[in-house]
Structure 1
Amino acid sequence: MRLDNNIHNYYEHLVLDYINTHFAEEFSDNFIADLICQTLNHLPPRYIRHEVDMAFYLPQNERMAMEFQVEKALNTSLTFLEGKYDI
Structure 2
Amino acid sequence: MTRTRKPTPAMPPDFSSIRNYHERAVFEAVAEAGPRYPLIAVEQYPDVACVALNRLLPRYIRHEVDLAFYLTENERLENERSVKESVQFAFEFVQARTLMKARR
- Contact 1:35/1:81 (<8 A) preserved: yes
Q: What's the CA shift for 1:24?
A: 6.2
Name the larger-Rg structure.
2
Query: 2:87 maps to what in 1?
Result: 74
**Greater helix fraction, Structure 1 or Structure 2:** 1
Which structure is higher in RCO with an 8 Å CA cutoff and minimum separation 6? 1
Task: Give aligned-pair identity as a percent.
Answer: 33
Matched, 1:63 2:71: no
Post-superposition Cα deviations, 1:43-70, rounded to whole Å, max 9, x if no partner, equal 1100011012233222111011011111
Matched, 1:29 2:42: yes
C-alpha separation between the residues in 2 aligned to 1:67 and 1:36?
15
- Contact 2:30/2:48 (<8 A) preserved: no
Q: Structure 1 residue runs of 4+, over 4 Å off?
A: 24-27
Given the two structures, how large is their TM-score scaled by the length of structure 2? 0.70
Note the aligned Cα RMSD (angstroms): 2.2
C-alpha separation between the residues in 2 aligned to 1:3 and 1:74?
31
Structure 1: segments with no counterpart, 5+ residues: none
Q: How many residue pairs get matched?
A: 87
Given the two structures, how large is their TM-score scaled by the length of structure 1? 0.82
Matched, 1:46 2:78: no
C-alpha separation between the residues in 1 aligned to 2:78 and 2:71?
11
Structure 2: segments with no counterpart, 5+ residues: 1-6, 8-12
